[in-house]
Structure 1
Amino acid sequence: MAGNISAKRSQAFSIQSSRCCYCGYQMWLVGPEAFAKRLGISVRQALQLRCTAEHLLARCDGGPDTASNIAAACLTCNRRRHSRKVPPAPEAYKTLIARRLDAGGWHSVSLRSAK
């Protein structure tokens, strides 16, 4: 099943032009070093922008491993959404992140080059 998720993550990454479905920042699939160098950020910062498979409807809520339920999200957005007691719906979460980004929050300031 992992290969199935990897393929769908890669497909979503490509469809979304390597941008997170929530924050819109650039992400990477393979090797954070080159990505970090290209953006002028540290590898540690780049790790926050690793592309993950985001289940729009979580597996624990019955969400399937289908292309229509999997989007590409950066590690930060994915973890923060699912660490909440009740994860918000994808569109509500995207709105919350947009407000945070507008206020200068969410990702560290030095990641602005990834936007």
Structure 2
Amino acid sequence: MKAKRLKTLRILAGVRQSWRCHYCWFPMWEGDLNPFIARYGISKREAMRFQCTAEHVRARCDGGEDSAANIVAACRACNGLRHRRKKPLSADDHAVHVGKRLAEGRWLPAHLRAVFAKERRC
């Protein structure tokens, strides 16, 4: 039951965010990745980075709940990188970190930056 609720919250967050990652604002996919691969001309491995995940703004281990107010949609890369740190950053601090890395041109490989250059929010 919990997994179904989380999936519903992830989809609602994706729609609310126009299928853009909460952190990097790059497009994400849900369901069949083949249209995403065809649209952007990238490999399956590259596309996996942009799979939509449910991201808890306040982590479960810190008392965060599976609720619409606490769930945002984040790409697999941003979600995973936030939680791989020894001491994960807060959602707000991670957004700042991602923004800095994007500004430095160090968040995505150059060929993926070029693919999504026209797609990013200004």
TM-score (norm 1): 0.95
Gaps of 5+ in 1: none
Determine the structure 1 residue equivalent to 2:105. 104
Which has the larger helix fraction? 1
| Shift of residue 31, structure 1, vs aligned partner | 1.5
Determine the structure 1 residue equivalent to 2:38. 37
For 1:53 and 1:97, how far apart are their aligned partners in 2? 17
Identity of aligned pairs, percent? 43
Determine the structure 2 residue equivalent to 1:73. 74
SS at match of 1:24: coil
Determine the structure 1 residue equivalent to 2:92. 91
Alignment root-mean-square deviation, CA: 1.0
| Shift of residue 109, structure 1, vs aligned partner | 2.1
For 2:63 and 2:26, how far apart are their aligned partners in 1? 28
* Aligned length, in residue pairs: 115
Moved over 3 A (4+): none
Deviates further, 33-42 or 3-12: 33-42
Deviates further, 68-77 or 96-105: 96-105
SS at match of 2:69: helix
SS at match of 1:92: helix
